């Protein structure tokens, strides 16, 4: 059965071009002319992937992402936009997009990212062990995240406080950190400030029920890759981690 792609763009020429290209590659493609139209289609049928423009009249791409996230549906979304600043694309990733392609990057790049997305598999780079650090003081939450990620083939360590997390960063050099904000001792933001003095490159997801307290200055100066609600599901967590790694 062919993989199903929903193309959401207010420009008819863009939709028709993408539909033609991907139908030739064996995909089943449906078009939506805007956000409201896309959500109506999603209420009637399921898709394996959505290609989504950000700037559209009426409901824009950000509002579509928020609606999909609120529905708890697992739907990989690739942003296809001509207006992709770092700030806007980070916001899209934090709302559930798995990747993005500029409209000027060419169809080959989009095909590569679509095929990568539709063949998501547990992360492994030529047998390399991939370490993930979970900094979370609630055992039920950290245990749940660790179980999900270990099931996908990652090596996971858990820290119950910011201080312990910093120590494990020094010892283990993780590739990814899942970091809560509300921690005993130093909080998650101060923990991340200290981590950035040690490692500027490690990818950090803030996973918290208190995302609203993150300041704009911290959000960008500390290079927070994604901000995720603590209530996110296991499939959603795996999707974010697979994409970034």
pLDDT in tens, the chain (245 residues): 789 999 999 999 999 999 999 998 899 999 999 999 999 999 999 899 999 999 899 999 999 999 988 886 678 899 988 775 667 777 887 787 878 887 667 788 888 888 877 764 444 444 457 899 999 999 999 999 999 998 888 999 999 999 999 999 998 889 999 999 999 999 999 999 999 999 888 999 999 988 988 888 888 788 888 889 888 888 888 888 887 76
Residue 186 and residue 87 share a domain: no
The torsion of the CA quartet 79, 84, 85, 88, rounded to 10 degrees, works out to -40
Is 81 part of a structural domain of the chain? yes
Max distance between CA atoms of the chain, in angstroms, equals 57
Residue 86 and residue 188 share a domain: no
Domain boundary among 118, 152, 171: 118
What is the chain's percent helix, strand, coil content, to nearest 5? 45, 20, 35
Residue 107 and residue 193 share a domain: no
Distance CA(145)–CA(157), nearest Å, equals 10
Is 123 part of a structural domain of the chain? no
- Counted domains in the chain: 2
Is 126 part of a structural domain of the chain? no
Would you say how long the chain is, in residues?
245
Question: CATH number of the domain that 13 lies in?
Answer: 3.40.50.2300
Cβ–Cβ under 8 Å, residues 181 and 189: yes
Q: List the domain range (segments joined by +) for residue 15.
A: 4-118
pTM: 0.53
Is 168 part of a structural domain of the chain? yes
Cβ-proximal residues to 52 (8 Å cutoff; 6+ apart), any chain: 8, 9, 38, 61, 64, 65, 77, 78, 79, 80, 97
Residue 139 and residue 104 share a domain: no
């Amino acid at each position: 059965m062919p993989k199903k792609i929903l193309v959401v763009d207010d420009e008819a020429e863009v939709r028709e071009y993408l539909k033609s290209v991907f139908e030739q590659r064996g995909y089943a493609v449906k078009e939506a002319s805007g956000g409201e139209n896309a959500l109506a289609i999603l209420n009637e049928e399921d898709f394996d992937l959505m290609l989504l423009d950000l700037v559209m009249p009426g409901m824009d791409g950000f509002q579509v992402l928020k609606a999909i996230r609120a529905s708890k549906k697992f739907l990989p979304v690739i942003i296809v936009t001509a207006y992709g600043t770092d700030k806007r694309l980070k916001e899209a990733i934090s709302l559930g997009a798995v990747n993005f392609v500029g409209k000027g990057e060419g169809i080959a790049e989009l095909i590569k990212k679509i095929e990568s997305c539709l063949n998501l598999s547990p992360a492994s780079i030529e047998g390399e062990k991939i370490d993930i650090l979970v900094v979370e003081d609630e055992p039920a939450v950290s245990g749940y995240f660790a179980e999900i990620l270990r099931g996908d083939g990652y090596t996971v360590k858990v820290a119950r406080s910011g201080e312990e997390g910093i120590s494990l960063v020094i010892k283990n050099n993780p590739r990814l950190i899942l970091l809560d904000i509300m921690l005993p001792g130093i909080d998650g933001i101060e923990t991340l400030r200290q981590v950035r003095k040690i490692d500027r490159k490690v990818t950090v997801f803030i996973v918290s029920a208190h995302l609203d307290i993150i300041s704009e200055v911290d959000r960008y100066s500390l290079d927070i890759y994604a901000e995720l609600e603590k209530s996110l599901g296991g499939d959603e967590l795996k999707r974010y981690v697979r994409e970034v790694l």
